[in-house]
Structure formats: C-alpha cells, structure tokens
Amino acid sequence: MGEISIKINIADRVYPLKVNIEEEEIIRRAAKVINDRIKEYQDNYAVRDKQDLLSMCVLHYATTTLKAERKVMHEDTDVTEKVHQLDQLLTDFFSK
C-alpha cells in the first residue's frame, strides 16, 4: 500500500509523518491515547511541564508493555508445559 503524509499533535506539538495508509488509524489513536494520558496527569498532579508529562507517559506505557510481555511469556510457558503433558499422556496411551 501507499504512504500518506499526516500531522499528529502530541503535547501541543505537531509532528508531520509519512505513514502507510493502513497504519494511519492506529497512529492517530495512539496520539489520542497519549494526549488523554497527559491530560489525566495534568488534572491529577501538580505537573505542568510538558517534558515531565511526556516522561510520565513513557514510563506508564513502558511499564504496561513490560507487564504484557511478562504475561505473554508466562502464558507461553504454561501452554508449552500443557502441550508437553498432553504429549506425554498420548505417548503413554499409545505405548500400551
């Protein structure tokens, strides 16, 4: 697919980007999520500096990403273990 030029506003700064057409919606949604988080931090904390607010957002999303990665790894380990147990049961069953 082709690329398009869009402008994304994050923390009152405009960023011109070239993106694939199929990525446009997710990028716009991501910018909205970031701006919503910044607004939440502005409303709930005595922080006004955009750099501080952006740093808080980055920390929040990095933490969320790492937690999700850990959960996926744990679930993958559980699935692998269950597949191994099932394989062992089938091996035992067919070897009788």
Q: For a pLDDT cut of 70, what percent of the chain falls above it?
A: 99
pLDDT digits (tens, 9 = 90+) for 27-63: 999 999 999 999 999 999 988 899 999 999 999 999 9
Confidence (pTM): 0.72
Distance separating alpha carbons of residues 32 and 14, to the nearest angstrom = 13
Decide if 5 contacts 16 (C-beta within 8 A): yes
What is the token pair recorded at 32?
Answer: 């909205």
Distance separating alpha carbons of residues 6 and 4, to the nearest angstrom = 6
Q: What is the mean pLDDT of residues 3-25?
A: 97
Distance separating alpha carbons of residues 52 and 71, to the nearest angstrom = 29
What is the C-alpha radius of gyration for the chain, rounded to an integer number of angstroms? 22
Tell me the pLDDT band of 1, cut-offs 50, 70 and 90.
low
